[in-house]
Structure 1
Amino acid sequence: MPLTAAPTAEPAPPAEAILRRQRVRESAARTYARSFPIVPVRAHGMTVEGADGRRYLDCLAGAGTLALGHNHPVVLAAIRRTLDSGAPLHLLDLATAEKDDFTTALLESLPAEFAGGARVHFCGPAGTDAVEAALKLMQTVTGRRGTLAFTGGYHGMTAGALAVSGNVAVKEPLPSGGEVTRLPFPFRYRCPFGLGGEAGERVSVRYVERLLDDPSGGVVRPAAMIVEVVQGEGGAVPAPDDWLREMRRITAERGIPLIVDEVQTGVGRTGAMWAVEHSGITPDAMVLSKAIGGSLPLAVVVYREEYDGWQPGAHTGTFRGNTLAMAAGAATLRHVTANGLASRAAAVGRYLMTELTALQRQLPVIGDVRGRGLMIGVELVDPSAEPDVCGAYPADPALARRVREACLARGLIVELGGRHDAVLRLLPPLTITDEQAHAVLDRLSDAIAAAAPR
């Protein structure tokens, strides 16, 4: 009898095959790939197109990296111009025209009282390395070791940066990363003191001041304090301006350098070019990454010149000289400034928060709407449970996951953060149009209504 060939399975679609290979080949630490099982093939502005032909509005924007959205013409032109010029793409920390231009654009964009006489240190390509550099610098200059950090903070995944971050789940399996004193971050919705509002903020200030001055408080004078002006991964929790000014006063009076982490808040994201401008404080150091590279990897620490206590080679890295990122970053900084995109972020952010607050009155599963500029958090809760002493209901992470999936099904990319991963985080590019803002609200409100318990 002639042999008959067994029927062959239909070949998997390219996207499905790619996703399958990713699951097999890549580590279990995958994050965004688990949340969004899509294979992007094209992207422009706020729109991402998957291999299946579906289009999505991207409210993640590279976790805030894409200030101008995907493949902005200004960024692409800067990259092409650099490539066509024959400029070296990798030169460690040697001087280049592209680096000189980026440094000029960066210092011109920073608050004048901070930028005057400041020093710029180029780090490895990620924000976490810039945090490490800032901590090491202040330890070197002060001769002290400890750090003051805040509940809810996120500063990166390397040892020192993770030590000053607040997320317990990623820290538990690891040995201690250093001496860190954890301070309560003011959080109006979930006040650490059970007071809420301005009362909680005032207690936070008094607590920090008295702890540092208490000879039996157990806190040896630290090398630095590190703080975010708006906690990003912590759930879009803004620090009150008055509170920040008090932290600046407390640290200055006690000779403690203040490091502000602007990795996610910088380049117009919060409605000002740099988030410190809202309060008017002048830090001793600023940690910058994400948007400063114009979508490409770049990270720096900018600090006051009196702290320039490095020895040559004290903090090095092979990939400190990313020429393309410097060109793209300089173009991005200048475009954001010239086109008033920080003000645009403030205006669109106000509109989104106003509409979301109105939606909150219709959907009780929305416990809180907060943020600044285009850095917005929508916290989902269980309104059938018992509220806490401030009236906040328990977080509902299962609902948040269902809403994220419902958003993706409706063509909207929204990621989670905050305590228990129950906060929908909106980080659209600063170039978001009015039409796109309306579409985000429509899709998000529809997704929440569909996923909420009946």
Structure 2
Amino acid sequence: MVSVPFSFIGPEEILRKKKEYMIPCVYHFYQQPMQLVRGEMQYLYDHTGKKYLDCFAGVSVVNCGHCNPEITAAICQQVNTLQHTCTIYLTEQIVSLAEKLAQVTPGRLRKSFFCASGTEANEGAALLASLYTGHSEFISLRQGLHGRTKLTMGLTGLRLWRTDPSPAGGISFAPNAYCYRCPFKLKHPECDYQCANELENVIQTATSGQVAAFFAETIQGNGGIITPPYGYFKRVKEILDRHGILLVIDEVQTGFGRTGAMFAIEHYGVEPDIMTMAKALGNGTPVGAFIARSEIADKYTRPGASTLGGNPVTSAAALATLAVIEKENLPARAKHLGKKLKDGLLRLQEKYPVIGDVRGLGLMLGAELVHADQSPAPELTDQVLESCKDRGILIGKNGLERNVLAFQPPLVISEEDINYLLNTLDLALGKQ
């Protein structure tokens, strides 16, 4: 146990104030939640001093670890020098970050717009796609999640996150590459990517033909770590190119080393027309961005700004984050440790039939929990999460039925941490 030098109000008082002063849409994990008060790389500590191995990274955010000293130092130096000006004045940090993103993103992606969240990044990408194509319709994937604004909620294919009772129109949905529960009852590779081929039918029958862009997360995080087979995006891009539709790839959860590459779309050998990012870009500071090829970006000429997007502090944090990712070669680390974790999850699958499927890339992995008839088991998922929490492990959950254990830890975890996670999960599953 770690000594706690401060007094804290505790979980019960936080829950009381939360109920009284916060909009109730903001919910929390666990039947018996703890108050988190400190973070150190891959670890979190609660108000009692109890230590937890964080295997969710603030939902795929702190890829470089909580309170990473190098990133924290860069933030403190900048916040003590120049905290904010907005883009109406010239500062060096924002253009340095834009230059760096042009270097690390795939293909010909070159010009960026900075904002404060993934939602804003996707909203901006949709606007840019419409400006470039002159079209106003969109297609996205079932079980995708792209944000909480009216348009991005309309692009979202998960009922849990579609709160708007009158979502934006002009949006059609294509089947996702959910191989474990294939909507066509087919098996890969004999399926010939039928889920991708269906995009052609959606364009022909569900749209007016005036589609600006197709939105897709490379791996669907909240959708259940849905991981397409490797030829999927090439087939999708072929169809989109025939119809003059842009490909917008949402790397909000998958970006910055998480999957064993800097960006997950690199695994698929496809160049996006526009790409969105947030979360791990600033390792916990609120920054998002969308980046596009120059000929697309240059269509956005009328005045546009984000008051807080790319301000000196968030830009300094993002630059320091990218420096740590490169110096520590975190994509390679995620690839190596991800294989170790996936192999361990597959062994647990052999031992516990409740694990219906294991999927993902690098350190973005999901284990879908099911009943004997393969139906989703969300109650069991909650029990496993609670049991692991009590043993000092924090795991995420997602999926259409919230029955998928999500493993998205900081990329700085160790092999010992992976072993501890697997042993703890073994104990938790053994109790069920």
TM-score (norm 1): 0.89
Q: Which residue of 2 aligns with 1:396?
A: 377
Q: Which residue of 1 aligns with 2:14?
A: 18
User: Is the contact between residue 19 and residue 37 of structure 1 (CA under 8 Å) also seen in structure 2?
Assistant: no
User: Is the contact between residue 190 and residue 196 of structure 1 (CA under 8 Å) also seen in structure 2?
Assistant: no
Match of 1:114 among 105, 108, 112: 108
* Alpha-carbon offset, residue 265 of structure 1: 0.5
Q: Which residue of 2 aligns with 1:296?
A: 285
Q: Which residue of 1 aligns with 2:187?
A: 196
Map residues 120-135 of structure 1 onto 2, 5 A cutoff: 120-123=112-115, 125-135=116-126
Alpha-carbon distance between aligned partners in 2 of 1:48 and 1:143, rounded to the nearest angstrom: 48
Alpha-carbon distance between aligned partners in 2 of 1:82 and 1:164, rounded to the nearest angstrom: 36
Over 3 Å counting, the alpha-carbon distance change for 1:325 and 1:12 in structure 2 is: closer
User: Is the contact between residue 221 and residue 253 of structure 2 (CA under 8 Å) also seen in structure 1?
Assistant: yes
Q: Specify the code of the residue in structure 2 equivalent to 1:158.
A: T
1:187 aligns with 2:174: no
User: Is the contact between residue 407 and residue 444 of structure 1 (CA under 8 Å) also seen in structure 2?
Assistant: yes
User: Is the contact between residue 35 and residue 46 of structure 2 (CA under 8 Å) also seen in structure 1?
Assistant: yes
Match of 1:360 among 327, 344, 349: 349
Equivalent position SS for 1:32: coil
Alpha-carbon distance between aligned partners in 1 of 2:164 and 2:288, rounded to the nearest angstrom: 27
Gaps of 5+ in 2: 1-6
User: Is the contact between residue 370 and residue 377 of structure 1 (CA under 8 Å) also seen in structure 2?
Assistant: yes
Alpha-carbon displacement from aligned partner over 1:22-81 (angstroms, at most 9, x marks no partner) = 233222112235567211111101111100111111111111010111001111111122
Map residues 197-216 of structure 1 onto 2, 5 A cutoff: 197-200=188-191, 202-212=193-203, 214=204
* Alpha-carbon offset, residue 357 of structure 1: 0.5
Over 3 Å counting, the alpha-carbon distance change for 1:250 and 1:287 in structure 2 is: same
CA radius of gyration, larger in: 1
Alpha-carbon displacement from aligned partner over 1:305-361 (angstroms, at most 9, x marks no partner) = 111212322x43322243211111111112212221101101111111111101111
* Alpha-carbon offset, residue 442 of structure 1: 1.3
* Alpha-carbon offset, residue 108 of structure 1: 1.9
Match of 1:178 among 169, 178, 183: 169
Q: Which residue of 2 aligns with 1:349?
A: 338
Gaps of 5+ in 1: 1-10, 386-392
User: Is the contact between residue 379 and residue 424 of structure 1 (CA under 8 Å) also seen in structure 2?
Assistant: yes
Stretch of structure 1 that moved more, 56-65 or 331-340: 331-340
Q: Which residue of 2 aligns with 1:412?
A: 393
Q: Which residue of 2 aligns with 1:155?
A: 146
User: Is the contact between residue 36 and residue 408 of structure 1 (CA under 8 Å) also seen in structure 2?
Assistant: no
User: Is the contact between residue 94 and residue 321 of structure 1 (CA under 8 Å) also seen in structure 2?
Assistant: no
* Alpha-carbon offset, residue 151 of structure 1: 0.9
Alpha-carbon distance between aligned partners in 1 of 2:40 and 2:132, rounded to the nearest angstrom: 45
* Alpha-carbon offset, residue 18 of structure 1: 3.1
Q: Specify the code of the residue in structure 2 equivalent to 1:402.
A: Q
Q: Specify the code of the residue in structure 1 equivalent to 2:391.
A: R
Alpha-carbon distance between aligned partners in 2 of 1:109 and 1:440, rounded to the nearest angstrom: 31
TM-score (norm 2): 0.94
Q: Which residue of 2 aligns with 1:277?
A: 266
Alpha-carbon displacement from aligned partner over 1:104-159 (angstroms, at most 9, x marks no partner) = 22222122x324xx211112x11001100110111122111111111111111111
Match of 1:438 among 414, 419, 422: 419
Q: Which residue of 1 aligns with 2:3?
A: none
Q: CA RMSD in A?
A: 1.9
